Amino acid sequence: DADTSLVKAKLKPFILRREKREVLDSLPEKTEVILKCPLSDEQLQLYKTVLEATKQGIQKAKQTKNKLHMLTALLKLRQVCTHPACLKECKNSDIPSAKFELIKEKITELMAKNHKVVLFSQFTSMLDIIQSWIEEQSFYFERIDGTITGQKRMDAVERFQSSEKATTFLISLKAGGVGINLTAADYVIHVDPWWNPAIQAQATDRVHRMGQQNKVIVYKLICAGTIEEKIQQLQAEKQQLLTEIVDIDGEGQKNVDFDEIKELIFT
């Protein structure tokens, strides 16, 4: 109303408001590194099999307008890239993941140098796999996913922030992408691409934010020659499409362009 506007106008000269974009220059440097790795031989064979099934699924979905069927098919392709064991059909298989091997190499290196690492994945099944290996190595770790809420969540953050131990913090997309402060970390690992760059940036900002004293290195892991690489290349020009493809659990009706999806998969 008019009175409120008048008060705001009078107070404006006396109020200092600094938003993050205005203080970015005062934050330590952030370096983003894209690490591309080829699929393992067995993983590649599985990927090709799932790709053919995905193509059939997309053709069928286009005819029946069954969007969920199409999105589920694409989800399976992304799971194969992350780790074959993320697929229900391959849960107990021994098919190696090239990306997991790279993760093990990086975490081993960073823990030996006493760093603190925040690792994000949209798949809790992948966090399970990584956690199992971390426990075998006797590395210190924390974890936040959808099952950890309230005080336990804040306790995990506090331990990570205050401890002097080298630590890996395993975090799922939905549970830890916003609302927490992890400035004790100096490395971020994005295991699988969050196709919406804004969501991925929000996650990185758990670490690279006001209060951060260290330079931050951000690793983004991409499987070369796969759907991951294609979507990375298309992020800027087809952002709306990518959001619709990936946000399977999002609210509201989706308006997916089947021709765009076909182009993405078949070219």
Write out the E strands in 99-245: 116-121, 140-144, 167-172, 187-190, 216-223
Q: Which pLDDT score is estimated for 128?
A: 96
Residue 254 has pLDDT above 50, yes or no: no
- Report phi then psi at 234, rounded to 5: -95, -5
Q: What is the tens place of the pLDDT at every residue in 174-205?
A: 777 677 888 899 999 999 987 677 778 888 88
Q: Which pLDDT score is estimated for 257?
A: 61
Element (DSSP H or E) covering residue 245 = helix 239-246
List b or e across 34-64, with b for residues whose CB sees 16 or more CB atoms inside 10 angstroms. eeebebbeebbebbeebbeebeebbeebbee
Cβ atoms of 172 and 215 closer than 8 Å: no
Q: What is the tens place of the pLDDT at every residue in 130-168?
A: 999 999 999 999 999 988 888 999 999 999 999 999 999
Q: How many CB atoms lie within 10 A of CB 171?
A: 24
